[in-house]
Amino acid sequence: MLSPAWTLLAGEGPFFVTYTHQMEEPGNLEISIKNTTGKPANGNRFLGITTEFEYGVKAWWTTEVYVEGQTTSGDSTLFTGFRWENRFRVLEREHWINPVLYLEFEDTNAADRSLLEVVGFDRQDDLTGPNAIARREKDREIEAKLILSSHVKGWTIAENFIAEKNVRHAPYEFGYAVGASRPLALAARPEDCRFCPENFQAGLELYGGLGTHQSFGLSGTSHYLAPTLAWSLPDGPTFTVSPGFGLTGQSAGFLLRFGVSYEIAQFGRLWRKRS
Amino acid sequence: MSRLKVASCFLAMTAIELPAAHKPPLQRAPIEAMSRANPFEARPPQEQSAADQAGHKLFERECSGCHGKQAQGSAWAPALASPVVKQAPAGAIFWVLRNGSLRSGMPSFAHLPEPQRWQIVTYLKNLK
């Protein structure tokens, strides 16, 4: 029998975009559904749906596969592609700042609305246009991130530097994500409870594009500020919600992200034992 | 700073961590970490008991997947209901929770706030 584990602080805490140095436990499988909805100024409301399978290969290596799709009001519903990412913890021990290297291959199309990161000159106009045309534009990209993060007095503080390149053509695109979060209580209560403050984590994310190698900087880029809240049920799933506010004219005015994740403890080992 | 210097820094930090890697995790804790006292030990008995119960709850959620519901251990993780853990300094157990033992497959639990890690230590020290 597979035993479910309580996901007190799932993979990336309450964040949708920012990664911390917390790795998936070896053998554990976390399944998440992350949704993003928004309405660009000159387009229809969309809902990007991402299903994520995160597996702890080693204590220092986590691998994830994402399957993505979207539906747009007054248009269509379609599969938009997949991603495969790997995260490697560089240092064996915990330090005041902890680096993790991230490498991803993505095979999506321009109709993708997952918005798992913002890079280069990504803007709200990219979220408009008919799906039938956007799906023809293939985005096969390699993405690298340097993840730096720390745990300080109950706070988790993380900074991500992102570089992305289409495998077929220039340019290199850059982006960033920073976040801070904290559980509502640092000590756990002795009794089992669903609404104990330690079951909730609140945080704030800031993320956006930094242009390209030809034109690096903040000018003409999108940026978002997003409060986040996660609620973990004992022996159950973690629910996460994050309203994001566009900070520049290129950003979509408002994005609402919401998700649910569930972790299966020792999935890999029990699977091997059975077969 | 040149790329060479950055690479050298990473290599140096990794090299510092290597020599102690072959020891069992509890013996790898530095002396200053071992000497850290469990803040819940100085509390009144009622609060200590509450910390023990909270630690039990956290243990079931965070640790029992590998170490077993009764901390009896499994094919891939050692028993924690053992004299070794019972006699270990509280600070050493806390250090292992913070750093993990990546080579032997134990992840870091530094994402848990310090009071929660001390609650787990309280529970482990009181295990019979």
B69-122 residue pLDDT tens: 999 998 889 999 999 999 999 999 999 999 999 988 999 999 999 999 999 999
In whole angstroms, how far apart are CA A44 and each of A12, A21, A114, A124, A131? Answer: 30, 36, 15, 11, 11
Which alpha helices (H) appear in chain B, and where do they start and end? 3-17, 31-34, 45-62, 64-67, 83-87, 90-99, 114-126
Rg (CA), chain B: 16
Cβ neighbours of B100 in A, within 8 Å: 59, 94
Nearest residue, CB atoms, B65 vs list A3, A91, A234: A3
Cβ neighbours of B115 in A, within 8 Å: 186-188
Res. B27 pLDDT band, cuts 50 70 90 = confident
Task: List B residues 40-59 in contact with A (Cβ-Cβ < 8 A).
Answer: 49-51, 53-55, 57-58
Using a pLDDT cut of 70, give the percent of chain A over it. Answer: 94
How big is the CA angle at A185 (ends A180 and A187), to the nearest 5 degrees? 120
What is the reported pLDDT for A49? 98
Structure tokens at A125: 């106009």
CA distance A240 to A14: 6
- The β-bridge relationship of strands A77-89 and A155-166 is unpaired
Q: Is the pLDDT of residue A247 over 80?
A: yes
What is the reported pLDDT for A273? 67
- The β-bridge relationship of strands A223-232 and A46-58 is unpaired
Res. A269 pLDDT band, cuts 50 70 90 = confident
Q: Compute φ and ψ for B45, nearest 5 degrees.
A: -55, -35
To test the contact with chain B by mutation, choose from A30, A90, A92, A150 the residue with the greatest count of B C-beta atoms within 10 A, namely A92
For residue A211, how many other CB atoms are within 10 A of its CB? 20
Residue B39, SS3? helix
Are the C-beta atoms of A108 and A135 separated by less than 8 Å? no
Cβ neighbours of B98 in A, within 8 Å: 94
Task: List A residues 87-106 in contact with B (Cβ-Cβ < 8 A).
Answer: 89-95, 99
Worst-scoring range by mean pLDDT, A270-274, B34-38, B103-107?
A270-274
CA distance A181 to A60: 23
Using a pLDDT cut of 70, give the percent of chain B over it. Answer: 83
Closest among A161, A160, A158 to A14, alpha carbons compared: A158
- The β-bridge relationship of strands A172-183 and A29-38 is unpaired
In whole angstroms, how far apart are CA B52 and each of A187, B1, B86? Answer: 12, 48, 14
Q: Compute φ and ψ for B10, nearest 5 degrees.
A: -60, -45
Cβ neighbours of A5 in B, within 8 Å: 61, 65
In whole angstroms, how far apart are CA B3 and each of A96, B7, B10, B121? Answer: 22, 6, 11, 41
Quick: pLDDT tens for A13-42. 899 999 999 999 999 999 999 999 999 998
What is the reported pLDDT for B7? 62
Whole-model pTM: value is: 0.90
Q: Is the pLDDT of residue B15 over 70?
A: no
Residue A94, SS3? coil
Which amino acid, one-letter code, is at A82? F
Structure tokens at A74: 């007054």
Q: What average pLDDT is seen over chain B?
A: 87
ipTM above 0.90, yes or no: no
Worst-scoring range by mean pLDDT, A195-199, B24-28, B31-35, B78-82?
B24-28
Question: Average of pLDDT values for B58-69?
Answer: 92
